[in-house]
Amino acid sequence: MVRGRVALLGDSAHATCPDLGQGGCQAMEDALVLTNYLMTTNLGVEDALRRYEAERLERVSGIVLKARKRADQIHGKDPELTQQWYQQLREESPEAVTGAIAKTILGGPLH
């Protein structure tokens, strides 16, 4: 995500399958974290960028992996698994769906 004095954010740093709706969200989280480090560093830009990358790498890696798994699950790679997912979704309460979305959001720097 970082090389020298250059940092990538959002999909340019960690392209994400659209199945979680997190591409834009992760870009905003990246911008928030990077801004905070740039505003508070007294060791220089490179230090701020390294801290940005260190903080974001685990979070975005998890989101990218989760989105890939969801894409495999809901786009028919394994038709039986896809049917199971849609059946589970039909049985889920709206509160459970909202709770899962909130859990994803609250796992980031905006908690």
Residue-wise pLDDT tens digits, 90-99: 999 999 999 9
Q: How far apart are CA 51 and CA 32, in angstroms?
A: 13
What is the tens place of the pLDDT at every residue in 46-60? 999 999 999 999 999
Q: Look up the pTM and report it.
A: 0.86
Q: pLDDT at position 53, please? A: 97
Closest CA to 74 of 11, 24, 17: 17
Choices 3.30.230.10, 3.50.50.60, 3.30.70.360, 3.40.1280.10: CATH for 2-106? 3.50.50.60
Q: pLDDT at position 86, please? A: 92
HSE of 107, CA atoms in CB hemisphere, 13 A: 16
Mean pLDDT of 103-108: 90
Check whether 84 has a pLDDT greater than 90: yes
Q: pLDDT at position 14, please? A: 93
Check whether 110 has a pLDDT greater than 90: no
Report residue 96 as tokens.
Answer: 């459970």
Q: pLDDT at position 61, please? A: 95
- pLDDT interval class at 19 (50, 70, 90): confident
CA 22, distance to chain mean position in Å, is 5
